[in-house]
Amino acid sequence: MTDENQSGSKIHYICQTYVEKKGARGGQAGLQIGKTFQYATTAEAEGRAERESRSEACVGADAYMIIEDTESGEIGAPTFLVRLGTVPDEDAG
């Protein structure tokens, strides 16, 4: 479910959904990761994010790609392809 190129890196295409997390004892609600799917292409990840974002159980969805260095195992920062609905800030971590 990844693209591998000659330089020893793999591209992973991910769709990640978010659900609303209720705050404890009336506290502030937040977001929680719902489901995560991995695909072989940008189009597949974007399509799944669009479908999932229309689900009643989902408040938002991201489709993004990450590059993995297969020699070191390091993962680069995500490059967002599409962000739909309520999603975390990009620099939230």
pLDDT band at 4 (very low <50, low <70, confident <90, very high): low
Q: Does the pLDDT value for residue 12 go beyond 80?
A: yes
Tell how far CA 18 is from the center of its chain.
Answer: 9
pLDDT tens, residue by residue, 13-56: 999 999 998 877 777 778 999 999 999 999 999 999 999 999 99
**68: three-class secondary structure by DSSP:** strand
**Does residue 64 contact residue 45 with C-beta atoms inside 8 Å?**
yes
Q: What is the pLDDT of residue 72?
A: 94
Report, as an integer, the average pLDDT of 61-89: 96
pLDDT at 22: 82
pLDDT digits (tens, 9 = 90+) for 67-80: 999 999 999 999 99
Any idea where the domains of the chain sit in the sequence? 2-85
